[in-house]
Amino acid sequence: MTPSDLQNRILFKDQLIIIIDKPAGIPVHAGPSGGESLEDYFGFLRFDYKETPKLAHRLDRDTSGCLVLGRNDRALRKLGKLFENGRVRKTYRAIAAGHVKDDTGIIDVPLKKIKLAKGWSMQPAKKGEDGAQEAVTHYKVLKRMDGFEHHSGACTLIELYPQTGRTHQIRVHLQSLGHPIVGDWLYGVNPTRPETFERLYLHAHAIELPLYDDRAPVRVECPFL
């Protein structure tokens, strides 16, 4: 990735934060086995600052869209409190397989982490079950379709508002409705992540941060499809 590649993905920049449009297919940070990650290129986003921007939160490897970086330690501390206290409003968009029946709804399904033969996954759990974490997602159907450029079957463009921030929450919640996200290699029809695939159609569409006491919240949107 060149400096211009990443800089062209900047959606918002001020003295405290940078918000970029994260591309799908690259992890935001290196995992236990190492490998390329988006963090490798954050030095391209220093501009006139001595500090290299750092992640204020995470997006999955195959998720695209709004990713917030703090430009210094002061910003990261402030962002950390906003995320920790649930004051950041996130909006996702996804293309779910099949036609989702209800125009709006709330998915209130706890999640727990399950070990697999290779790796792990998140699975629905019962309330009060050992290891279960509360997970709530609100949703609104935007459009029901009979396919699009990269998918020939019935599908639904859906907007999602996670009330909690569990790992893989939206992916598992849509699977629990019987409508996994198109291209979801883990919670859809594929047992393992293929070497190549079109993409996971999950996108961090917008984010709203009450970053300053004397200004309106910073709200940034990122186009999807």
CATH number for 1-88+210-225: choose from 1.10.10.10, 3.30.2350.10, 3.30.360.10, 3.30.70.380: 3.30.2350.10
Question: Considering only CA atoms, which of 208, 222, 107 is closest in space to residue 166?
Answer: 107
Answer yes or no: 213 catalytic. Answer: no
Residue 85 has pLDDT above 80, yes or no: yes
Q: What are phi and psi of 181, to 5 degrees?
A: -70, 135
Burial class (CB in 10 A: 0-12, 13-18, 19+), 145: middle
Residue range 14-35: average pLDDT? 91
Question: Considering only CA atoms, which of 135, 89, 88, 93 is closest in space to residue 110?
Answer: 135
Query: Catalytic residue among 21, 60, 62, 184, which?
Result: 60
Q: State the CATH architecture for 89-209.
A: 2-Layer Sandwich (3.30)
pTM, entire model: 0.92
Give the H/E segment covering residue 164.
none
Share of the chain above pLDDT 70, in %: 96
pLDDT digits (tens, 9 = 90+) for 141-168: 999 999 888 788 899 999 999 999 999 9
Instruction: Give the pLDDT of residue 144.
Output: 97
pLDDT digits (tens, 9 = 90+) for 31-69: 777 789 999 999 999 999 999 999 999 999 999 999 999
pLDDT grade for 199, boundaries at 50, 70 and 90: confident
- Whether 89-209 and 1-88+210-225 are alike in CATH topology: the answer is yes
> What are the residue ranges spanned by the domains of the chain?
1-88+210-225, 89-209
| Interatomic CA distance for residues 57 and 202, integer angstroms | 17
Instruction: Give the pLDDT of residue 224.
Output: 87
Q: Where are the alpha helices (DSSP H) in 38-194?
A: 73-84, 169-176
Give the H/E segment covering residue 6.
helix 3-7
Q: What are phi and psi of 37, to 5 degrees?
A: -145, 165
